[in-house]
Amino acid sequence: MRKLRLKAVFFVFSILLSLPPILSAAPSEAMKKRPEGKRPPPPAHRAHAFQISGVAVNPREFNPAKGQTITVAFRLSRHGKAVVRIFDAEMRLIRELPVREGKRDSYEVAWNGRDFAERIVPNGAYFFTVEALDNQRKPAVYEPFGPLTAQSFMPKALRFEPREKVLSYTLARDAWVLIRVGIPAGPLLKTVLDFVPRLAGEHREFWDGMDESGNISVVSQEGWKLMYEAVSLPENCMIVVGQPDDAYYDYMNRIAKEKPRKRPPALDIKGRLGTPLPEKLMALELRPGFLVDLPRTIGTTAGGLPVVHGRVPIRVTLDDNIKRYATERRYEIMIFVDFQFVTEEDEGYSPATRMWDSRSVPNGEHIITINVRILGGPAESASQKVMVQN
């Protein structure tokens, strides 16, 4: 019996020796190349980072006063929760929108153009971030603020078309646009656009060729010139339209009086990903609106021009909604006659009166132009034709 067992063992051993090398216990080439102590990489689906992609808004421009909304859509690389945070140009958080899941990991949310207090926001450009957490609470963040944010560039082919009374130009990318009209080395006469957001492409802006007061035909003056600038917007900006032009100032005055309230974050993301949010994208300041009065006139011409002589007091009164702001920032008043500089002085009160000696010009029709400029900020213009009779 013992001999039979030995023969059986010998028989099995001889069979194993005759098998191909693939069943050998020797390490494979792949195992030889792997460093000691390291495990093979996980499958591709396990190594894939949690990401936000395909971010888009539609439409790019909308009017909340007409009940219109704008949709923010994006994809997550795997299932998770997300929130869209909306900011204005000065990076104030004005709304948070929890996002519902769509089909195949597609997500979208609609914004109705209202802030936390359900007030319609004023005209302008608005921006958003997307923050998400997957089921393992791993975060992903989309922020649109890249190297092109707030970079100045020039609009292309800016020209005035007098028959149509429009300014036409082309933007290579979305931008805030500033267009002013004035006399070189002389006064500002008209602000056509004051850093108004516009989408990339061709644009046509109405301008009748007159100054800010509607008293002077700018395009009839020798040497008048267009001055313009564009400042690029972040990608996927949302543009609100349809509100009154002065709604921005009223809105800013209201929210400035409100004490900021701390709100719990919609998603508890520990630390931010990507670059820090900018403090401001654009400081949109109040333009110094004002009225001009010539208290001592001696009548009017048949055409309605004020008749002046001798020393003429020119009184400048700031609009009530800008008075405190301009006084705190400080402002200057510049007076031009026939587009030639006459005097300039910093002011700290309103109304302010400056004297002009009309005997410095010959009798006849002349143009008085006043520029009020907030120091380091925007300017406003007004002009008045007068008849000098000394």
The tens digit of pLDDT for each residue in 67-93 reads 999 999 999 998 888 999 999 988 889
* CATH classification (class only), 290-388: mainly beta
Give the per-residue pLDDT at 1: 45
**DSSP letter at 72?**
E
Q: Which helix (H) or strand (E) holds 107?
A: strand 106-111
Which conformational region is residue 300 in: left (phi greater than 0), alpha (psi within -120 to 50 degrees), or beta?
A: beta
**pLDDT over 90 percentage in the chain:** 53
CATH 2.60.40.4070 fits 152-233, yes or no: yes
Tens digit of each residue's pLDDT (9 = 90 or more) over 268-277: 666 555 567 7
Q: Which of 25-39, 51-65, 373-387 has the lowest mean pLDDT?
A: 25-39
Q: What phi and psi values does residue 171 have, to the nearest 5 degrees?
A: -110, 130
Peptide bond into 162 cis (omega under 30): no
* pLDDT bucket at 245, cuts 50 / 70 / 90: confident
Give the per-residue pLDDT at 101: 72
Tens digit of each residue's pLDDT (9 = 90 or more) over 215-235: 999 999 999 999 999 999 999
- The residues near 277 (Cβ < 8 Å, ≥ 6 apart) are 87, 91, 129, 143, 145
Peptide bond into 264 cis (omega under 30): no
326 pLDDT exceeds 70?
yes
**CATH 2.60.40.10 occupies which residues in the chain?**
290-388
307 pLDDT exceeds 50?
yes
Give the per-residue pLDDT at 253: 66
358 pLDDT exceeds 60?
yes
Cβ burial, residue 188 (10 Å; 0-12/13-18/19+)? buried
**CATH 2.60.40.4070 occupies which residues in the chain?**
46-145, 152-233
pLDDT average, residue stretch 331-346:
91
pLDDT average, residue stretch 97-122:
88
* pLDDT bucket at 284, cuts 50 / 70 / 90: confident
First to last CA, the chain: 148
- Four-way CATH pick for 46-145: 3.10.20.600, 3.40.50.880, 2.60.40.4070, 3.40.225.10: 2.60.40.4070
